[in-house]
Amino acid sequence: MSANVYPVSDEIAKGALIDKAKYDAMYKQSVEDPEGFWGEHGKRIDWIKPFTKVKNVSYDPHNLYIKWYEDGTLNVSANCLDRHLEKRGDQTAIIFEGDDPSVSEHITYKDLHERVSRFANALKSLGVNKGDRVVIYLPMIPAAAVSMLACARIGAIHSIVFGGFSPEALAGRIEDCGAKVVITADEGLRGGRGVALKRNADEALSHAGVKSVEKLVVVKHTGKDIPWNDARDVWYQDICDAASPDCPPTEVNAEDPLFVLYTSGSTGKPKGVLHTSGGYLVYASMTHQYVFDYHEGDVYWCTADVGWVTGHSYIVYGPLANGATTLMFEGVPSYPDASRFWKVCEKHKVNIFYTAPTAIRALMREGAEWVEKADLSSLRILGSVGEPINPEAWEWYHEHVGKRKCPIVDTWWQTETGGILISPLPGATDLKPGSATLPFFGVEPALLDHEGNELEGATEGSLVIKYSWPGQMRTVYGDHERFIQTYFSTFAGVYTTGDGARRDEDGYYWITGRVDDVINVSGHRMGTAEVESALVAHPKVAEAAVVGVPHDIKGQGIYAYVTLNADEEPSDELRAELVKWVRKEIGPIASPDYLQWSPGLPKTRSGKIMRRILRKIAANEYDQLGDTSTLADPGVVNDLIDNRQNR
Ligand code: WTA
């Protein structure tokens, strides 16, 4: 834990939207009078029919619903495009920076509006109606943002699947949401290498369970030759060219769904987190403005992928609703070399830069000389998201990238929360490296003990949020019961985050990581159960248990214990085959870093795997195993310790 405190500098405070006094006053109002507060701030977006009701929420597990602005109507794409045309039609909405450093493009609001309108009409001509699901499986290119906004324009529900997911993972998500149309590209590009998106999509669509898809829209990106199915496939460019550029936005209710985004949980398959339109947009745009102290004219860059929630809220919806210039980067931080992020900041004069601790750690390892190669004088605010940032990485980011002038906003939130819940505000919050600091307006965190008692003062416990906020997820797509079970049954009357946290004497929150069986690999959520079920699906595997293990760059790595069928012999070839198998079943992000053969797993007499023990062994903390006497066969523990994978 770092003891350093970085007070708000006068220079930042002077120009900031929110200073200390304003934060205190607004926070107070937001929790004492949420209806008044959110009623006022709900007006920051354009409504077709203004809302008269602000909030209608019940956390009662027998009758659970979450509604904000429920009688208002709007269109999300009109909020991100049309309403800016008069004032900033010629301003850049999106700066696209390609994987190849010689490729970049500026797209104005006017141009983006036309592209979205054309594609929205094209989707309509393919039979996509309000409420239909559209799966987007694209690289980080402008067509991804266009696709999201085109769906929003006609009231269709998009579900983005990260381009790094395998055909199997893609198929599962298409099947779960029953998508009518899938949008992909011939290929993606990452670090100069092609990613076979169309081929993956073809494979996904050939799965027996995938029956709903009528059309596959293909963006020509690298120009690679690809197989073509005349009855099903259409070129994005062709249908956009043929469509009218005039597409009046469809009026939707505040509580109509905007998107479904699949995320990993502690059990079962990934769940479709459903966000709706009105409250989500109010919350995404408001947090974007205040957390990043966004000012008119700023160039803002979030390095996430639109396949994750960060890309939804803080590359597309939040920034565009605010009329910002948002940068979309197709590539990776290490290509062509480790100065790429900083060169891009220099090239586009980025003012606000938002990235993940895993990227910081990887670049830190390459050395500060790569940062010195670029002129970073345009930077004003830095951000971090996805996992706890270790104080060492924070200090490096602050010193070498921020030159000790740029505040770092360490933003804690989740796919489920729609937007940032705990974070410093640049002009208001003194910083402590490694702490996400204080709650955003309207957010009331609490720490509970195992019995659900609220703990007071400086303490540590399970992090819950006491009351609803407009950006909160509304349900699990197609499974409201799972929504209730996952988030509202562990503790009564509050939203359970799945994270643990410590609160210090200043009321600052320090997220300590997941308290459930979710691991966080390079800022990406992975359910241990998902990796386990991929492993046991292999014909030679009898049983598997997966845990997270500390990893220098990724934050957490994946450590798998595998028990083979009785007639199978362990070998290095089989180990490699199993790692490959998991990549194929889920995607490269789920590759086990370590795979240990385990003739037996530590189980209780009732057959429950004791993951606590497996975690300790994986972390080389086998002198702290605690009580193993309740195990059915305590002997397996020594065997596992002796056969640890060297790290
Ligand atoms: C973790 C990403 C510490 C946390 C927006 C959370 C963080 C999970 C932070 C959600 C942070 C995210 N400090 N931990 N600043 N941000 N996390 O759904 O464990 O991909 O529950 O959303 O990431 O991951 P998700």
C-alpha 180/C-alpha 177 separation (Å) is: 9
CB-CB contact of 374 with 342 (8 Å):
yes
To the nearest whole number, what is the mean pLDDT of the chain? 96
C-alpha 643/C-alpha 639 separation (Å) is: 6
CB-CB contact of 636 with 596 (8 Å):
no
Residue owning the nearest CA to atom 12 of ligand 1? 386
Confidence of residue 623 (pLDDT cuts 50, 70, 90): confident
536 is in an annotated binding site: yes
DSSP 2-22: ----BPPPHHHHHH-S--HHH
| Helix axes 572-585 and 528-536, enclosed angle (nearest 10) | 120
The pTM score is 0.95
Closest atom of ligand 1 to CA, residue 514? 19
Please state, as a whole number, how many other Cβ atoms lie within 10 Å of the Cβ of residue 519: 27
Confidence of residue 609 (pLDDT cuts 50, 70, 90): confident
Q: Is the pLDDT of residue 103 over 80?
A: yes
Give residue-wise pLDDT tens across range 459-507. Answer: 999 999 999 999 999 999 999 999 999 999 999 999 999 999 999 999 9
Amino acid identity at 389: I
Domain ranges of the chain: 10-440+455-502, 522-643
Q: Is the pLDDT of residue 2 over 80?
A: no
In CATH terms, the superfamily for domain 10-440+455-502 is ANL, N-terminal domain (3.40.50.12780)
541 is in an annotated binding site: yes
| Helix axes 109-125 and 142-154, enclosed angle (nearest 10) | 60
Q: How far is the CA of 211 from the centre of ligand 1 (A)?
A: 34
Q: Do domains 10-440+455-502 and 522-643 have the same CATH topology?
A: no
Closest atom of ligand 1 to CA, residue 525? 20
Tokens of 18: 């929110």
Q: Is the pLDDT of residue 624 over 90?
A: no
Confidence of residue 632 (pLDDT cuts 50, 70, 90): confident
Q: What is the pLDDT of residue 81?
A: 98
Name which of 95-99, 470-474, 634-638 the model is least confident about: 634-638
Amino acid identity at 295: H
Give residue-wise pLDDT tens across range 530-584. Answer: 999 999 999 999 999 999 999 999 999 999 999 999 999 999 999 999 999 999 9
Q: Is the pLDDT of residue 1 over 70?
A: no
525 is in an annotated binding site: yes
Pocket test for ligand 1, best of 313, 497, 499 (most atoms within 8 A of CB): 499
Residue owning the nearest CA to atom 25 of ligand 1? 414
Give residue-wise pLDDT tens across range 396-448. Answer: 999 999 999 999 999 999 999 999 999 999 999 999 999 999 999 999 999 99
Pocket test for ligand 1, best of 497, 511, 517, 554 (most atoms within 8 A of CB): 511
SS (H, E, C) 297-356: CCEEEECCCCCCHHHHHHHHHHHHHCCCEEEEECCCCCCCCCCHHHHHHHHHCCCEEEEC
Virtual torsion, Cα 427, 433, 436, 437, nearest 10 deg: -60
Q: What is the mean pLDDT of residues 39-62?
A: 98
Confidence of residue 647 (pLDDT cuts 50, 70, 90): low
Confidence of residue 265 (pLDDT cuts 50, 70, 90): confident
Could you tell me what percent of the chain has a pLDDT over 70? Answer: 99
Architecture of the 522-643 domain: 2-Layer Sandwich (3.30)
Give residue-wise pLDDT tens across range 68-93. Answer: 999 999 999 999 999 999 999 999 99
Give residue-wise pLDDT tens across range 327-377. Answer: 999 999 999 999 999 999 999 999 999 999 999 999 999 999 999 999 999
Q: What is the pLDDT of residue 607?
A: 78
Q: How far is the CA of 388 from the centre of ligand 1 (A)?
A: 8
Q: How far is the CA of 438 from the centre of ligand 1 (A)?
A: 15
Confidence of residue 646 (pLDDT cuts 50, 70, 90): low
SS3 content of the chain, % helix, strand, coil (to 5): 35, 25, 40
Q: Is 81 helix (H, G, I), strand (E, B) or coil?
A: coil
Give residue-wise pLDDT tens across range 114-148. Answer: 999 999 999 999 999 999 999 999 999 999 999 99
60 DSSP β-pair partners? 63
Give residue-wise pLDDT tens across range 307-323. Answer: 999 999 999 999 999 99
414 is in an annotated binding site: yes
583 is in an annotated binding site: yes
DSSP 219-263: E-SS-------TTTEEEHHHHHHHS-S--PPPPEETTSEEEEEEE
Q: Residues with Cβ within 6 A of ligand 1?
A: 263, 308-310, 385-388, 410-415, 436, 497-499, 511, 513-514, 520, 525
Give residue-wise pLDDT tens across range 411-422. Answer: 999 999 999 999
645 is in an annotated binding site: no
Could you tell me what percent of the chain has a pLDDT over 90? Answer: 91
Q: What is the mean pLDDT of residues 173-187?
A: 98
